[in-house]
Amino acid sequence: MRQAGINGVADIPMIERIKVQQFILDRFIDNIQRAPRPSITDRTPLDMIGYMLGEVTMHNTPQELHEPIQTYVDNCINAAERYFDMALIVRPLPNYKVQDSRPPLNPAYQTMVQFIIEGAGQNATQLYGGIIQTTDFEERCEATCGAIKRRLADLVRHKYGLTSH
């Protein structure tokens, strides 16, 4: 957001949010297209959906913005399905650290955004992955590494027609 001249933790008018979120998605797609494969990233278009829809409420979004917001969400789902083979969604850690570059601590808002991201993951039906529930760091590492190893093994088996007995 900083590169687009926007303070990411400020209250941004929805029309500006749509523009900057699309700028971020376009930049992300450009970067992911140029990245070597296999690639692992900590942010995906599913996260971008969470940050956009986290700002939408029943009464704060004029009707003329409904379609552009939905188009953006659809673009994010399409990008996730096109450029990712797998998305693992992790639950937030319980030790959120307040910093100037982050939104203020607001557990209700953060829970809402997390649920939106998890729902977006369920709607991206072409993605292999899941939700890592634990907040224990070691368990998260084990679950993440295990999921990546299993997916890589699946891809190798599929590519070479191998089967396991």
How do residues 15-38 score in pLDDT, each as one tens digit?
888 999 999 999 999 999 999 887
pLDDT digits (tens, 9 = 90+) for 80-90: 999 988 899 98
83 inside domain? yes
- What is the DSSP-derived secondary structure letter of residue 161? T
141 inside domain? no
Neighbour count for residue 118 (Cβ, 10 Å): 15
7 inside domain? yes
- Number of domains observed in the structure of the chain: 1
- Domain limits for position 110: 2-134
- Is 72:21 a contact under the CB 8 Å cutoff? yes
164 inside domain? no
Which regions in the chain score pLDDT beneath 70? Answer: 162-165
154 inside domain? no
Q: Given this model, what pLDDT does residue 5 score?
A: 81
Q: Given this model, what pLDDT does residue 98 score?
A: 82
Q: Given this model, what pLDDT does residue 162 score?
A: 62
160 inside domain? no
